[in-house]
């Protein structure tokens, strides 16, 4: 796994640009959803000595979500 996922930087930059200069109104960015993802949580805590990897997601999977939120 790479140390950092740069695709999220590019996607978020495009989202902010579109909202700022094009007046685009999409659904709000769900920071809590992304912060609770297993890969994000792993990268945040993997250097801690007492960290145990739990691969069971604590969030609702995309295919089961109802849109718009």
DSSP notation for 49-68: TT-----S-SS--GGG--S-
CA–CA distance, 15 with 28 (Å, rounded to integer): 10
Give pLDDT, residue 2: 66
Give pLDDT, residue 28: 75
pLDDT in tens, the chain (69 residues): 567 778 888 888 998 898 889 888 777 777 887 888 888 888 888 899 998 888 887 777 767 777 655
Give pLDDT, residue 50: 92
Give pLDDT, residue 69: 56
Please give the structure tokens belonging to residue 51: 């960290």
CA–CA distance, 61 with 33 (Å, rounded to integer): 10
Q: Is the pTM of this model over 0.75?
A: no
- Which among 33, 34, 28 has a CA at the least distance from the CA of 5? 34
Domain ranges of the chain: 6-64
3-class DSSP state of 44: helix
């Amino acid at each position: 796994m790479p140390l950092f996922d740069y695709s999220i930087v590019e996607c978020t930059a495009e989202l902010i640009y579109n909202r700022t200069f094009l007046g685009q109104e999409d659904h709000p960015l769900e920071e809590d959803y992304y912060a609770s993802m297993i890969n994000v949580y792993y990268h945040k805590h993997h250097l801690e000595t007492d960290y145990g990897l739990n691969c069971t997601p604590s969030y609702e999977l995309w295919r089961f979500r109802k849109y718009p939120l």
